[in-house]
Amino acid sequence: MMDRFENKNVVVAGFGKSGQACVRFFIERSIPVTVWDSREDIVVPDWADVPFFKGSLPDNFWQDVDIAVVSPGLALSHPALCAARESGVVLIGEIELFARYNSAPVIGITGSNGKTTVTLLVTHILKAGGLNAIAAGNVGTPALSTLGQAPDYVVLELSSFQLETTESLCLQAATILNISDDHLDRHKTLAAYSDAKQRIYNNTLHAVAWRDQQITYPLALTVQVTEFSAGVHSDDFGISDNWITWQNEKVVDLSRVQLTGTHNILNIQAALGLALHAGMDIQAAAEAVYDFQPVPHRCVKIADSNSVSWIDDSKATNVGATLAAITGLRHATSGKLILIAGGDSKGADLSALSDSLNQHIDLLITLGKDGPAIAALHHKALEVTSMREAVEQASTHSRAGDTVLLSPACASLDMFDNYEHRAEVFRQAVAEVCK
């Protein structure tokens, strides 16, 4: 039995969604807990009737603390957490807390891009097969909320921030969908970021990995691997004649699938692989794919005005996501492909966009903090100051058969509340400009 928390002095560090779930968890079990949040102005709800510290901490705060449950939004390099480690405090996260109490089978999904789509698709497939499956983790529902529900499977979307504080999570199957520059403002190097992702394989029975990116494979050679690929592949998943194949047999007719782009074909393959390791029959799993609805803000068509397609991929907050969208849509677009990009790149290497921009993008429109850096990569770029202006320029330069893609390759917080807000502003501008 993993170490529980009775008779321990516990601190929850960070009072966001994950931190609040942890505090509720301890309160419901009558385990004493203290909360610290770095924000001076945070409002404490009435239900959180526990010792609560805001902002800077008093001297010797960590002296008698045994365990700190750290919210994923709080970097482990924070001075207060460094002081905690120096005092001998064990730092874990909500997922590790979940792992120590969970008894249900778990499927884990991480990667730079596609996590939410695959998490929800796996959950959808398992439910279609009659299993009680719950999607949780980074997808929005705290993992702790699944305890006591006795599901057949918990399907966890896991970020690198969550994984770096997780040690003992046991998984029936796991995947790293892909790795590209992301969160380097926090992880500093791609190697450190990849190392955090690799932690998903620490205690898994089966791995599902992308054949074309070896960095997605588990480092331990003893883990069984199922491969997915955009090429013809006779052993595991592949593509042939517009069908997804499994062991060289056609299983998913891509003309019937509502997800668009090559990147989403890979996502479907990964989801099928994970579902197989949960005991699903391949034909039943494949059939369930056809009625899966695309996740909002992930390469979703929001308008078709005068035969111009407008695509919302606002969730593309890193270079890899935008590269995937460009590659996936270029082959499906008969006319020009116009890209709207820019925002806060979070320290990523934007030069990785250069080749794809110049090979596949007919017109580039940029905005935001790092818009000028992206514009400098393309021979035909327009720099604008607002989303409305970006849509106006795209409308002016588009003709029937063209596609306008919002895929920023950057975070949104330099101009918007979040990527959902960015998508809504885009949608409103398209509705007004193209009416």
Query: pLDDT digit string (tens) for 261-298?
Result: 888 999 999 999 999 999 999 999 999 999 999 888 98
Band of residue 324 on the pLDDT scale cut at 50, 70, 90: confident
pLDDT of res. 182? 55
Residue 36 tokens read as 């610290």
406-435 per-position pLDDT tens digit: 999 999 999 999 999 999 999 999 999 997
Q: How far apart are CA 361 and CA 363, in angstroms?
A: 6
Rg (CA), the chain: 23
Distances (CA, A) of 214 to 56, 94, 118, 211, 417: 43, 29, 19, 7, 36
- Residue 206: name the closest of 215, 217, 196, 195 by CA: 217
b/e for 194-233, b at 16 or more Cβ within 10 A? bebbbbbbbbbebbbbbbeeebbbbeeeebebbbbbbeeb
Q: Which amino acid is at 395?
A: S
Our answer to whether residue 124 is catalytic in this structure is no
226-257 per-position pLDDT tens digit: 999 988 877 899 999 999 999 999 999 999 99
Residue 308 tokens read as 């111009």
Tally the residues of the chain: 435
Residue 296 tokens read as 């909002």
With tokens 């968890």, the residue in question is 25
Band of residue 314 on the pLDDT scale cut at 50, 70, 90: very high
Instruction: Indicate the pTM of the whole model.
Output: 0.84
Our answer to whether residue 315 is catalytic in this structure is no
Residues 102, 113, 138, 264: which is the catalytic one?
138
Report the chain's mean pLDDT, rounded to a whole number: 93
161's CB contacts (< 8 A; 6+ apart) are 72, 73, 93, 183, 186, 196
- Tell me if 129 sits within 8 A of 285, measured CB to CB: yes
Our answer to whether residue 421 is catalytic in this structure is no
pLDDT of res. 89? 97
Residue 143 tokens read as 């993992």
Residues 183, 263, 277, 297: which is the catalytic one?
183
48-63 per-position pLDDT tens digit: 999 999 999 999 999 9
pLDDT of res. 426? 98
Residues 102, 113, 115, 187: which is the catalytic one?
115
Residue ranges and CATH numbers for the domains of the chain are: 10-92 (3.40.50.720), 97-289 (3.40.1190.10), 300-433 (3.90.190.20)
Provide the CA 124 distance to its chain's centre, in angstroms.
17
- Tell me if 406 sits within 8 A of 426, measured CB to CB: yes
- Tell me if 23 sits within 8 A of 15, measured CB to CB: yes
Residue 245's DSSP bridge partners are: 238, 250
pLDDT higher than threshold 50 for residue 1? no
